[in-house]
Amino acid sequence: MRDLTLPFCAGCGCFTVINCFLRAIHELGHKDLRKFIFCSGIGCAAWIPSPYFEADSIHTAHGRSIPVATGVKLMRPDLNVVVFGGDGDLAAIGLSHLIHAARRNMDIMVVMVNNMIYGMTGGQVAPTTPLGVKTTTTPYGSFEPPLDTTRLVATAGASYAARWTTVYFKQLKEAMKTAVTTSGFTFIEAVSPCPTTFGRRIGLKGASEMLQWFKQNSLPLMQTEKMTEKELADKIVVGEFAYRRKPTFTDHLHEALKEAEITVKEN
Amino acid sequence: MAKPKAGTHFWQGNEACAEGAVAAGCRFFAGYPITPASEIFEHVALRLPQKGGIVVQMEDEMAALGAVIGASWTGAKAMTATSGPGFSLMQELVGYAFMTETPCVVVDIQRAGPSTGQATKCGQGDVMQARWGTHGDYSAVVLAPNSVQEMFDLTIQAFNLAETYRTPVVLLADETVAHMRERIVFPPPEQMVIAKRKKPNSTERQFFGLKEVAPMPSVGEGFNVAVTGSTHDEYGHRFTADPLVHKRIVGSLVEKIRSNTEKIVDFESYSINDCEVGIVSFGCTSRAVYEAVELAEEKKIKAGFVRLKTVWPFPEKIVHLMAQKTHTIIVPEMNLGEILYEVQRTVQGAAKVVPLNKIGGGEMITPEELLAEIVRSVKRVD
């Protein structure tokens, strides 16, 4: 970390996410971040690496972190490319990039900090906001159901996709270790408290109340298989949604370019 | 297609652009298909992997330019190619490339707009989009080829300017120049001038907004560079409210091009010192000017021209000079008036500035139409 004060509000889940990530890579034996390059978009979570990590970081335009990370990874396959972003950045404006990166099984890791709201811009409804919540742009209550981003990423073809809340910091840290060491597209959704712009709108004043709410409403994926959509409406389903060995984008690319590589030698 | 040999070839404009990119050292291309630019993508898809480069098709134009920017920060020369609608989508990341001083080349093969317009038909309506397309203050560098040879030469020049000034450079071509086939001379490697970006020495830590163009590290080299599209200081650290830091960084983006305008501007001129009527043109439209000038000479009318090879920065000095010698300057363009206003601003009333516009169906402005305008302007004065 650089010697700078972190910008996050008191009780923000980003602190836990930073903690889990840095612990995870420390436990994996990395003494510094030399083998990593971080990309992020716009929003609170996008500030996690930039410029606070003592590392190369590219803080891109809103939603475009994954395309930029893709360009970096394709030219520097030896580096670990990690994206941090919020639910607005990755599941709204950047969603198509997220789906396509998962489909390609592009060799990058994405950490989505889901606080269920647009925090930085002052509490507008997000595609992850639960139905009925009153936000600054839905003063009569949200009238659209939220997106199950992790399930979507798993379905699209990612090697690894998991959701935890910041309450489960041990599982979150372990998931980060798995994500760093698994080849292909790896995705972690960290459901995270935002007492400042979300908690107070749903009647939860502090971080501890929010964490309590996460705890009471979380269900392991295994238990939810036979539950109806209605029963799951207010639940946070946690666990590993995908964990599989499969060829990555780079594998397919090298296979396809074999013919061209022969020509390289001739040129 | 394998590596072309030095010598004469018969190529399409888009092929020449792609070969220009290969020759300039481009090793990364990300694109999204669009008429009339797709042949560039298809050609580099064949050629770059032969050079150890990467070509990838992204999900949209924002992703294409995003990937190009990411690749550029690894040290690679990188490019994308599109047309007006795609260029509009890219504007967000064009702004990001300006703000982060990321060298890259964006080729815009203009077609008739706005919106989907006439996708296969020629237009020249992106002149102002190329200058002012993204929000905020910046200085654009935009080149306008008018032949297959220049699709090759100016693509190399676009990379050279991008790398020298750490800025996105637009190659503003048009459907006609991109799709026509003509003779092109592929020069031997020793005759090609290829610029490289300035790299920092190991102790340097200031990578942005310096008086001279700042050195650019690559990621993964141990510089721990912080790149951001937010207002930042010389070290790349964000300052989202400080007025002085904002003035400093944005001022430097504008000044690094403005103060080098004379080095960057490029044009072709003819008879500007002894002509009655002047013509300012660019791209495909300028091809009719050559013949119109000859037709005018047959009628004993001396017509001169300035042909813009850099549309931006606009070659003010030469156009201003021509205005002192002529009574009329004709501005033919395949839009309803864009570069016209820049000519008017430059001329400042010294000569009458007359538009000659044509849009729709890709119909070109003909030498005869230009001649008629030349004759009309001479009669007006007599």
Which B positions 311-330 lie with beta carbon below 8 A of chain A? none
Kindly give, in sequence order, each residue whose CB lies less than 8 Å from that of residue B46, ignoring residues fewer than 6 positions away. Answer: B1
**Taking CB atoms and an 8 Å limit, are B3 and A267 in contact across chains?**
yes
Mutation site, A1, A4, A33, A64, interface B, largest B CB count within 10 A:
A64
For A261, name the nearest residue in chain B, comparing CA atoms only. Answer: B50
Candidates A61, A64, A76; nearest CB to B219: A76
What is the average pLDDT score of chain B?
A: 97
Instruction: For chain B, give every residue range classified as CATH 3.40.50.970.
Output: 7-191
Residue B332: Cβ within 10 Å count: 27
Which tens digits make up the pLDDT trace of B297-330? 999 999 999 999 999 999 999 999 999 999 999 9
B62 in reach of chain A (CB within 8 A): yes
Residue A49 lies inside a defined structural domain of this protein: yes
The mean per-residue pLDDT over the stretch A26-41 comes to 97
Q: Do B219 and A79 touch (CB under 8 A)?
A: yes
CB contact under 8 A, A257 and B51: no
CATH of domain B267-381: 3.40.50.920
> Are the beta carbons of A50 and B49 separated by less than 8 Å?
no
Range(s) of the domain holding residue A191: 14-266
Closest partner residue to A51 (CB to CB) among B64, B95, B237 is B237
List of chain B residues whose C-beta atoms are within 8 Å of the C-beta of residue A254: none
By the CB < 8 Å criterion, does B219 face chain A?
A: yes
Query: How many CB contacts within 8 angstroms connect chain A with chain B?
Result: 138
* Closest partner CB to B66 (pick from A64, A253, A263): A64
Does the beta-carbon distance from B28 to A75 stay under 8 Å?
yes
When pLDDT is cut at 50, 70 and 90, the band that residue A262 belongs to is: low
**CB nearest to A68's CB, from B69, B230, B238:** B69
**pLDDT at residue B54 in the model:** 97
Q: Are B122 and B180 in contact (CB under 8 A)?
A: no
**Does residue B28 sit at the A interface (CB-CB below 8 Å)?**
yes
Q: Is the dihedral of CA B311, B313, B318, B321 positive or negative?
A: positive
Contact yes or no for B2 and A263 at CB 8 A: yes
What does the pLDDT read at residue B147? 98
- Asked if the Cβ–Cβ distance from A59 to B227 is below 8 Å, we say yes
Strand ranges of the sheet holding B226-228, from the earlier edge strand across to the other edge: A218-220, A236-243, A160-165, A186-191, A109-114, A80-86, A36-40, A56-59, B226-228
Interface check for B208 against chain A (CB to CB < 8 A): the answer is no
One-character DSSP codes across chain A: --SS---PPTT-THHHHHHHHHHHHHHTT-SSSTTEEEEE-SSTGGGTTTTTSSSEEEE-STT-HHHHHHHHHHH-TTSEEEEEEEHHIIIIITHHHHHHHHHHT-S-EEEEEE-SSBTTTTSB--TTSPTT---SS-TT---SPPP-HHHHHHHHT-SEEEEEETT-HHHHHHHHHHHHHSSS-EEEEEE---TTTTGGGGT--SHHHHHHHHHHHEEEGGGGTT--TTTTTT-EEEEEEEE-----HHHHHHHHTHHHHHHHHH-
pTM score:
0.97
A223 has a pLDDT exceeding 60? yes
Q: Tell me the chain B residues in contact with residue A66 when contact means C-beta distances shorter than 8 Å.
A: 63, 66
Distance (Å, whole) CA A114 – CA A128 = 8
- Cα distances from B163 to residues B127, B197, B262, in angstroms, run 23, 5, 17
The residue among A72, A78, A248, A258 with the most chain B CBs within 10 A of its CB, best to mutate, is: A72
User: A6 forms bridges with which residues in the sheet?
Assistant: none
* B74 lies within 8 A of chain A by CB: yes
pLDDT bin (cut points 50, 70, 90) of residue A264 is: low
A69, A78, A96 ranked by CB distance to B70: nearest: A69
Express as a percent the part of chain B with pLDDT over 90.
97
pLDDT tens, position by position, A138-187: 999 999 999 999 999 999 999 999 999 999 999 999 999 999 999 999 99
Q: Is the ipTM beyond the 0.85 threshold?
A: yes
Tell me, yes or no, if B262 comes closer than 8 A to chain A by beta carbon.
no
CATH code 3.40.50.920 region(s) in chain B:
267-381
B4 min Cα distance to partner chain A (Å) = 10
The Cα B288–Cα B177 span in angstroms is 13
Residue B180's pLDDT is what? 98
Q: Which of B95, B109, B37 is nearest to B66 (CA)?
A: B95
Q: What angle do CA B305, B257, B174 make, to 5 degrees?
A: 50
Position B2 confidence tier, pLDDT thresholds 50, 70, 90: confident
**Do A70 and B58 lie within an 8 Å CB cutoff?**
yes
How far apart CA B197 and CA A100 sit, in angstroms, is: 32
Q: Is B225 on the interface with A (CB under 8 A)?
A: yes
pLDDT attached to residue B235: 97
* Amino acid, res. A63: G
The pLDDT of residue A191 is 98
Angle between the B13-24 and B38-47 helix axes, to the nearest 10 degrees? 40
Q: Give the chain B residue nearest A258 (alpha carbons).
A: B49
B380 vs B355: CA distance, rounded Å: 15
| Mean pLDDT of the region A212-227 | 95
Mean pLDDT value of segment B81-102: 98
List CB contacts (< 8 A) between A54 and chain B: 224
| Residue in chain B nearest A249 by alpha carbon | B56
Count of domains observed in chain A? 1
226-245 of B, contacting A, C-beta below 8 A? 226-230, 236-238
CB nearest to A71's CB, from B3, B28, B62:
B28
CA dihedral B200, B205, B208, B210 (to 10 degrees): -80
* B64 shares contact with chain A (CB less than 8 Å): yes
User: Residue A77: inside a domain, yes or no?
Assistant: yes
Say yes or no: domain B7-191 is CATH 3.40.50.970.
yes
**To the nearest whole angstrom, how far is the Cα of A92 from the nearest Cα of chain B?**
15
Q: Is B206 on the interface with A (CB under 8 A)?
A: no
Residues B15-47: tens digit of each pLDDT: 999 999 999 999 999 999 999 999 999 999 999
Q: Write the CATH number for A188.
A: 3.40.50.970
